[in-house]
C-alpha cells in the first residue's frame, strides 16, 4: 500500500493530501530511510513521522484498504515519541539529560 494512503487509513494523519505533503517535506521515514508518498508500506516496517516538535515511531502491524474507525488503531503499534529540540542549546540540554 502507498505510504500516503496508509497514513490516512490508519488515521495517523487526517487527510491523504496532508499525508502527501508531509512525505514531500521529508518528514516521514520507513526503516530509517526518507520516504516518498508513493513508497510501499509492508507489515513489519518501522515508520518515523515528525509532527511539529516530536517524532512518533510506529510499527506497521496490519494493512487494510478500508478499515473501520475502531480498527484503525490496530493497524500499528506506537514504539515511542521523542521530542525534537528547537536549537543547539536545547539539543545539548536534552542529550545531557
Cell numbers placing 59: 510499527
What letter would DSSP give residue 40? Answer: B
Q: Provide the strand spans (E) within 1-97.
A: 28-30, 33-34, 46-51, 54-60, 76-83
What are the structural domains, with CATH classification, of the chain?
Answer: 3-83 (3.10.290.10)
Q: Which residue has the higher pLDDT, 6 or 83?
A: 6
- State residue 51's pLDDT score: 87
In this predicted model, what pLDDT tens digit does every residue of 33-72 receive, in sequence order? 999 999 999 999 999 999 888 999 999 999 999 999 999 9
pLDDT(13) > 90: yes
pLDDT, mean over the chain: 89
Amino acid at each position: 500500500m502507498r505510504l500516503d494512503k496508509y497514513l490516512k487509513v490508519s488515521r495517523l494523519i487526517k487527510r491523504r493530501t496532508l499525508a502527501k505533503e508531509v512525505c514531500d517535506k521529508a518528514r516521514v521515514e520507513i526503516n530509517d530511510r526518507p520516504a516518498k508518498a508513493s513508497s510501499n508500506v509492508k507489515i513489519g516496517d518501522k515508520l518515523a513521522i515528525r509532527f511539529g516538535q516530536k517524532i512518533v515511531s510506529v510499527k506497521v502491524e496490519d494493512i487494510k484498504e478500508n478499515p473501520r474507525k475502531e480498527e484503525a488503531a490496530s493497524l500499528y503499534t506506537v514504539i515511542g515519541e521523542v521530542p525534537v529540540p528547537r536549537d543547539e542549546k536545547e539539543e545539548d540540554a536534552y542529550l545531557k539529560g
